[in-house]
């Protein structure tokens, strides 16, 4: 009789983690950056039909990297949760913290109970009436959740991008400055000696949670408004 092949639980978890991290790293980076009037989201996304950045509710947005069909399922589930909770209770009861907790439970269950973890990393952000009230949560493939401040970089070549943003980020800067900082970070060479890259406006996906907008704070930056911000001298 053949003996069953044994793999320790620790090795299984490690293999799942390595698998998910490699899948996430293959994607292009997405940034979430605080600026004077809200939170900016920027990513390199030549495929205009598939959004990495989306609205969830009145003042809540979602951004993700990794496998599109997996994070799209999570986005749709988040919209449904927010709509039902807002309808049954009150729109003010829909919060980024509550949504982040739901995502953490879902990702944690998938990671521990399924054969393949989701290859995704998420940001759930909510803009407040003041910058001090902004909330930004990072969620990873295993259900871990952390509240972040200032900025988040996910996916791709994240370490040098994060280092660049950390060195130059000013949370009181205007939107145009924050956008140009994000783009400058995204085009950093991936290796020493590599040629500098450029990203044109059509290959960028950008959106904001603007605290000055009435009720629905989410707004996509596309076309002429995006180009104007990129060319601004401020």
Residue 206 has pLDDT above 60, yes or no: yes
CA proximity to 39, closest of 232, 224, 222, 217: 217
3-state helix, strand, coil in the chain (%, to 5): 40, 25, 35
Q: What is the pTM of this model?
A: 0.91
User: In whole angstroms, what is the distance from residue 77 CA to residue 63 CA?
Assistant: 14
Residue 74 vs residue 11, higher pLDDT: 74
Residue 44: what pLDDT?
86
Q: What is the pLDDT at residue 202?
A: 79
The string of pLDDT tens digits covering residues 173-203 is: 999 999 999 999 988 766 555 566 777 777 8
Q: Which CATH class is domain 25-231?
A: alpha beta
Question: To which residue do tokens 């629905």 refer?
Answer: 216
Contact at 8 Å (CB) between 181 and 172?
no
Question: Looking at 96-105, 122-131, 141-150, 184-193, which range is the least confident one?
Answer: 184-193
* Domain boundaries defined on the chain: 25-231
Instruction: Determine contact, residues 44/204, Cβ cutoff 8 Å.
Output: yes
Q: What is the mean pLDDT of residues 115-119?
A: 92
Strands (E), the chain: 30-35, 38-44, 53-57, 60-66, 120-126, 135-139, 145-148, 151-154, 204-210, 218-221
Q: How far is CA 26 from CA 2, 107, 206, 227, in A?
A: 39, 20, 20, 28
Q: How far apart are CA 79 and CA 97, in angstroms?
A: 14
For the segment 29-54, what is each residue's pLDDT rounded down to a tens digit? 999 999 999 999 999 887 777 899 99
Using the predicted structure, report yes or no on whether residue 215 has a pLDDT greater than 90.
no
pLDDT class for 90, splitting at 50, 70, 90? very high
Backbone angles phi, psi at 21, to 5 degrees: -65, -40
């Amino acid at each position: 009789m053949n003996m069953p092949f044994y793999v320790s639980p620790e090795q299984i978890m490690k293999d799942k983690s390595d698998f998910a991290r490699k899948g996430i790293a293959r994607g292009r980076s997405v940034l979430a950056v605080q600026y004077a009037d809200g939170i900016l989201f920027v990513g390199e996304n030549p495929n205009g039909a598939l959004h990495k950045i989306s609205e969830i509710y009145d003042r809540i947005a979602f951004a993700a990297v990794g496998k599109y069909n997996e994070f799209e399922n999570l986005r749709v589930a988040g919209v449904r949760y927010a709509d039902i909770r807002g309808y049954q209770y009150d729109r003010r009861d829909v919060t980024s913290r509550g949504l982040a907790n739901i995502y953490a439970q879902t990702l944690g269950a998938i990671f521990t109970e399924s054969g393949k973890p989701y290859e995704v990393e998420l940001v759930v952000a909510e803009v407040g009436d003041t910058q001090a009230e902004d909330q930004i949560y990072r969620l990873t493939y295993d259900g871990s959740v952390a509240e972040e401040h200032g900025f988040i970089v996910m996916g791709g070549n994240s370490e040098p991008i994060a280092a660049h943003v950390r060195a130059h980020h000013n949370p009181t800067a205007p939107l145009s400055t924050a956008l140009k900082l994000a783009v400058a970070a995204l085009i950093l060479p991936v290796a020493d000696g590599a040629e500098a890259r450029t990203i044109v406006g059509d290959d960028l996906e950008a959106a904001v949670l603007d605290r000055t907008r009435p009720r629905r704070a989410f707004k996509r930056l596309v076309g002429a408004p995006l180009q104007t911000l990129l060319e601004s001298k401020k």
